[in-house]
Structure 1
């Protein structure tokens, strides 16, 4: 009789579960980073408004609206990615216990789309600021 059959799957696969938890925490750090970046972008728009008022120059039209919209969007995106990371963590946890792991690229794809959207927005934002 094999002793491993009596051991709970979480104990038998503890290294894999710990790796899953580290991956989850990495996604949480990434989500927090995106949310912080959104906060900074929103506050940078406020800073630019104050700077234009202080220098007496006229603020370009709709300048602050873009940064506010984009900042709120990034905060929402970060929170949404954190939620998806938790769902992925629980799904992988169950798959590890059942020894039926299936890779998923949903979060990876969302991160790449977010990075591309950020890059495109920043390029357009900087071109219009010149």
Structure 2
């Protein structure tokens, strides 16, 4: 078997690094979105409490905090998977027997689609917030004449 010229191997390794960095950016985006979704859900509940003076009810499983945590965890798993894949491709390039792996792409696509579908109820489900601000509770009679 003849070895590839050094310049071809260098280009292949650089392409492998660019692919790894793209996975890394995607992972950072997933973690950032997860954090933002979780915190924004808490913010919306606090706003609702201030406006309606009532605690907001939320589903124990399908809520923004859980979706945010899942996105953060999936982002962390994607970083680990990207590092593993980078190393695997590195050694395949060195041995000259690179084999593309479509399974990882399909698995990642499936997980992101499932998380997207799970987020749809959170997007469309809204508590009814009254358009007028309720008046503050009236003072007890004993405190009015003090």
Q: Give the TM-score normalised by structure 1.
A: 0.83
Q: Give the distance between the partners of 1:121 and 1:35, measured in 2 at CA.
A: 17
CA contact (8 A) 1:39 1:72 kept: yes
User: 86, 91, 95: which is aligned to 1:89?
Assistant: 86
Q: Give the distance between the partners of 1:57 and 1:107, measured in 2 at CA.
A: 48
Larger Rg: 2
CA contact (8 A) 2:67 2:119 kept: no
The alpha carbon displacement at 1:122 in A equals: 2.2
**Residue segments in structure 2 that go unaligned for 5+ positions in a row:** 128-146
Equivalent runs, 1:72-111 vs 2, <5 Å: 72-111=69-108
Pairs aligned (count): 125
User: 109, 118, 123: which is aligned to 1:121?
Assistant: 118
Q: Which residue of 2 aligns with 1:24?
A: 20
Q: What secondary structure sits across from 1:13 in the alignment?
A: helix
The alpha carbon displacement at 1:125 in A equals: 1.5
The alpha carbon displacement at 1:107 in A equals: 3.0
Change (3 A) 1:82 1:67: same
Task: Determine which structure has the larger helix proportion and give its number.
Answer: 1
Q: What secondary structure sits across from 1:129 in the alignment?
A: coil
Q: What secondary structure sits across from 2:99 in the alignment?
A: coil
Instruction: Out of 73-82 and 46-55, give the one that drifted further.
Output: 46-55
Structure 1 runs (4+) deviating above 6 angstroms are none
Q: Give the distance between the partners of 2:118 and 2:53, measured in 1 at CA.
A: 24
Q: Give the TM-score normalised by structure 2.
A: 0.75
CA contact (8 A) 2:12 2:93 kept: yes
